[in-house]
Amino acid sequence: MTTVVQSAGGSNKGGRERVGVLAVAGAVVMLVVAYLALSAGNTDSRRGLLPYQTLASTLPESDQQQFKALRQKLLDAEAERSRVSRWPSAESLGLPGAGYRWTRFDRGVVTNYFGQPTDASQPAWLLEIQEPEPGTAADPAPNDEEHHRLADGTTLHVYVWTHRFGGQLRAEFVAAPQNTGWAEVFAEVPNPVFAIKR
Amino acid sequence: MNRLTAALCATAVALALTGTRLLAHDVVVDQVIDMNIAVRGPQLVVHLHVPATALADANLPRLPDRTIDPSRARPLLAGIAADVARNLDLQQGENRFAAPTATARVGDDQKSVDVELVYTGGVSGSVSARLNAFRAVEGPARTDLHYSTATGSEQSLTVTGPPVRVQLDPSTLDVARQFIGRGVRAVFDSGDELLFLLCLLLPLRQPRLATALFAVIAAGQLGAMIIVASQSPMAPAAVTAAGMAAASVVVIAGLQNVVEARPARVMALAALFGVLSGVSLGSTVVASAPFGGSHTWLATISFVVVALICELWLGAVGWGTRLWLDQRRTPARTLSILGSVLIAHEAVHRVVDRGHVLAQSGAFDGDRVIIWLTLVWAGVMLCLALVNRLSADADASGSSLGWGAARSR
């Protein structure tokens, strides 16, 4: 005599398990998305930054606008540098900020555009551009806020700095801004692999 | 040497090799900025008392005794007032207030500057300000704010760390959204809860026991949070000490996995962790509740419920992963010991890090806190060993009398 044993609801059980797995996966994804959404803009803004660095989003509204305008002008300066093989003068570049006096300073491979406010309580701004030393190996870092490339492939290190009470400063070449009260401003926390530590 | 002794020795050696050295630190003192914002009819009046040490970039001239030289500082005061107003960046909804009337004077103690900002044009919407925007040189800046609305309600809060925009007297929806985020971050950023839950779930446990362990942790946390929230705010050093003790509990949980402790003792440790972790979470609630303005209860409940849900989720994911590993026939004992050593290693670092924070706060001597913590745990282990020994003797004599003895793990 042959006995047929029927498995009780095999396909049903498999279906339930699939639904369960999908539900759990959905819950996990939903919670991760919720966490990321809630964390956006609320994370510790200093995480991943050096003591002299800051994020533009933590600056006053007017400074954020100035920072954006400066980054745009930086691209214009780079285009001009690629075209005529030298950095444009501060006057011809038309750097932003009403009530600012811009001066260009060069020392070796480093170019500074120094913006000094006429109002002593306003911040000073510094656009620092560093070309590679002749004969040094090319920096392999990809383009980001600190690494830009000219049309000929030359990698530049570029930095935007700000200093409170800019009217108290002397307009001159700034050799080590990080040691003299300047804050380097970023739009985003830099990638730690390619970040330039000074 | 039996297997248990060998496992204990191996764990002790692994932890000793991965430990870090204690370092001494100078005591750091906060540079406190007192700030009052009040709505007076159509005006919004802001008073700030700023220590000179929090005006590092202003280059205030000093006398030989390090106090401010009032006569030489006078020409700088208008610039300081304007800089403070610019950095405060007071907004009404999405719109910035028009430039205020800003005045400043050297404080009576000659070690500070008093700033007054008067905004005109009426206050009709939700006000927000960018707080703690000061660069201090002799310690981190801290802003203590007191806000009085037109209706007479008051809000007091403290901001430390980098400058942050804070909404004053926020709406119900804003408070719920803000504190759901704070609850999630409190659990995920701390990491203690994750480490402890992982440690508990490394040995494969029955669903009922796993649920009971979670319930014990949650009950401990809830109880501690209620007690902490109902008291006056705890000293930061006490909160750090509780966090340090919680991390040490994670180390002990790792050791319990290695020696395969009895469920009752794991349960007791879970309860202790729940209480210590609840102290940290509770103090976070107390510290952040003022950001909820007049909706303190909503803020607290949102935070607590979300924190517990996050932990439940972490536990569920951990338990599911452990089951999955078991189905893949991963060697349970090896996984438990290796995982426990790794978690205990991380927890030892946390204990030492928090010891450093305590040493910096100056409330305790960091070395002594760690020594006391170690002595307490050594004492607990000694007591347990003694109890085991006595109960084993009793069992042996019971057996000789024919009572029978069964020792369950």
Of A39, A46, A181, the CB nearest to B57: A181
Tokens standing for residue B384:
């347990």
Q: What is the largest CA-CA distance in chain A?
A: 106
Residue B405 pLDDT: 37
Q: Do B57 and A164 touch (CB under 8 A)?
A: yes
Mutate to test the interface with B, among A165, A170, A182 (most CBs of B within 10 A): A165
Tell me the C-alpha distance between B91 and B286, whole Å: 26
Number of helices and strands in chain B (H, E):
10, 10
* A110 contacts: CB under 8 Å, gap ≥ 6: A128, A129, A130, A131, A173
Contact B132, B143 (CB under 8 A): yes
Q: Is A20 on the interface with B (CB under 8 A)?
A: no
Q: Is B312 on the interface with A (CB under 8 A)?
A: no
Contact B114, B143 (CB under 8 A): no
- Over chain A, what is the mean pLDDT? 84
Tell me the C-alpha distance between A167 and A170, whole Å: 8
Residue A3 pLDDT: 52
Tell me the C-alpha distance between B58 and B78, whole Å: 11
Helix (H) or strand (E) holding B258: helix B236-259
Q: Looking at this predicted complex, what is its ipTM?
A: 0.73
Q: How many CB atoms lie within 10 A of CB A50?
A: 14
Q: Quickly list DSSP for B351-373.
A: HHHHHHHHHHHTSS-HHHHHHHH
Measured between beta carbons, the chain A residues lying within 8 angstroms of B79 are 119-121, 165, 167
Instruction: Give the phi and the psi of residue B315 in degrees, each rounded to 5.
Output: -65, -45
Tell me the C-alpha distance between B242 and B232, whole Å: 16
Residue with tokens 């009572």: B403
Among all residues of chain A, which has the CA nearest to that of B58?
A: A165
Asked whether residue A6 carries a pLDDT value surpassing 60, the answer given is no
Residue type, B12: A
Residue A22 pLDDT: 67
Tokens standing for residue B106:
């050297």
Measured between beta carbons, the chain B residues lying within 8 angstroms of A27 are 313
Of B82, B96, B181, the CB nearest to A38: B181
Nearest C-alpha of chain B: how many angstroms from A118?
12
Q: Is A147 on the interface with B (CB under 8 A)?
A: no
Three-state secondary structure call for residue B407: coil
Residues comprising chain A, all counted: 198
- Residue A159's beta-bridge partner residues? A128
- pLDDT, one tens digit per residue, over A34-75 is 555 555 444 455 667 888 999 999 999 999 999 999 999 999
Residues comprising chain B, all counted: 409
Tell me the C-alpha distance between A117 and B46, whole Å: 26
Q: Which residues of B108-130 are buried (b: 16+ CB within 10 A; e: fewer)?
A: eebebbbbbbebeeebeebbbbb
Q: Do B82 and A119 touch (CB under 8 A)?
A: yes
Tokens standing for residue B196:
């402890």
Residue B320 pLDDT: 84
Measured between beta carbons, the chain A residues lying within 8 angstroms of B317 are 28
* B95 contacts: CB under 8 Å, gap ≥ 6: none
Q: Do B57 and A165 touch (CB under 8 A)?
A: yes
* B101 contacts: CB under 8 Å, gap ≥ 6: B117, B118, B120
Instruction: Give the phi and the psi of residue B276 in degrees, each rounded to 5.
Output: -65, -40
Q: Is B89 on the interface with A (CB under 8 A)?
A: yes
Measured between beta carbons, the chain B residues lying within 8 angstroms of A34 are 184
Nearest C-alpha of chain B: how many angstroms from A80?
34
Q: Is A32 on the interface with B (CB under 8 A)?
A: no
Among all residues of chain A, which has the CA nearest to that of B129?
A: A60
Tokens standing for residue A100:
């600012």
Tell me the C-alpha distance between B208 and B202, whole Å: 15
* B232 contacts: CB under 8 Å, gap ≥ 6: none
Q: Is B57 on the interface with A (CB under 8 A)?
A: yes
CA angle B73-B77-B78, nearest 5°? 145
Tell me the C-alpha distance between B287 and B281, whole Å: 10
Q: Do B89 and A44 touch (CB under 8 A)?
A: no
Residue type, A159: Y
- pLDDT, one tens digit per residue, over A151-167 is 888 999 999 999 999 99
* B264 contacts: CB under 8 Å, gap ≥ 6: none
Instruction: Give the phi and the psi of residue B397 in degrees, each rounded to 5.
Output: -70, -35
- pLDDT, one tens digit per residue, over A164-181 is 999 999 999 999 999 999
Contact B169, B153 (CB under 8 A): yes
Residue with tokens 């009032």: B70
Q: Quickly list DSSP for A8-37.
A: TTHHHHHHHHHHHHHHHHHHHHHHHHHHHH
Q: Do A181 and B56 touch (CB under 8 A)?
A: yes
- Residue B116's beta-bridge partner residues? B47, B103
Q: CA B123 from chain center: how many Å?
A: 35
Number of A–B residue contacts, CB under 8 Å: 68
CA distance to B35, B56, B128, B182, B271, per residue, from B131 (Å): 10, 17, 9, 18, 39
Tokens standing for residue B352:
């030492």
Of A45, A54, A164, the CB nearest to B83: A164
Residue B11 pLDDT: 57
Nearest C-alpha of chain B: how many angstroms from A67?
15
Three-state secondary structure call for residue B298: helix
- pLDDT, one tens digit per residue, over A127-148 is 999 999 888 888 888 899 999 9
Q: Is B59 on the interface with A (CB under 8 A)?
A: yes
Q: Do B133 and A60 touch (CB under 8 A)?
A: yes
Tokens standing for residue B401:
């009398």
Q: Each residue's pLDDT tens digit in chain B (409 positions)? A: 455 555 555 555 555 555 444 444 555 678 999 999 999 888 999 999 999 999 989 999 999 999 999 999 999 999 999 999 999 999 988 888 999 999 999 999 999 999 999 999 777 778 999 999 998 888 889 999 999 988 888 899 999 888 999 999 898 998 999 999 999 988 888 889 989 998 998 888 888 898 999 999 999 999 999 999 888 778 888 888 899 999 999 999 998 998 888 889 899 999 999 999 999 999 999 988 889 988 989 999 999 999 999 999 888 888 888 888 888 888 888 888 998 999 999 998 998 888 888 877 766 555 677 777 788 888 888 888 888 788 777 766 654 443 333 344 3
Q: Is B368 on the interface with A (CB under 8 A)?
A: no
Tokens standing for residue B157:
């809060």
Parallel, antiparallel or unpaired: strands B91-92 and B95-96: antiparallel
Q: Do A46 and B185 touch (CB under 8 A)?
A: no
Q: What is the DSSP letter of A51?
A: T
Tell me the C-alpha distance between B225 and B159, whole Å: 22
Tokens standing for residue A129:
């551009």
Q: Quickly list DSSP for B92-146.
A: ETTEEPPPPEEEEEE-TTSSEEEEEEEE-S---S-EEEEE---B-SSS-EEEEEE
Q: What is the DSSP letter of B274?
A: H
CA distance to B183, B187, B305, per residue, from B309 (Å): 9, 10, 6
Q: Is B324 on the interface with A (CB under 8 A)?
A: no
- Residue A156's beta-bridge partner residues? A148
Contact A146, A191 (CB under 8 A): no
- pLDDT, one tens digit per residue, over B51-98 is 999 998 999 999 999 999 999 999 999 999 999 999 999 998 888 899
Sign of the alpha-carbon torsion through A39, B136, A71, A84: negative
Measured between beta carbons, the chain A residues lying within 8 angstroms of B56 are 181
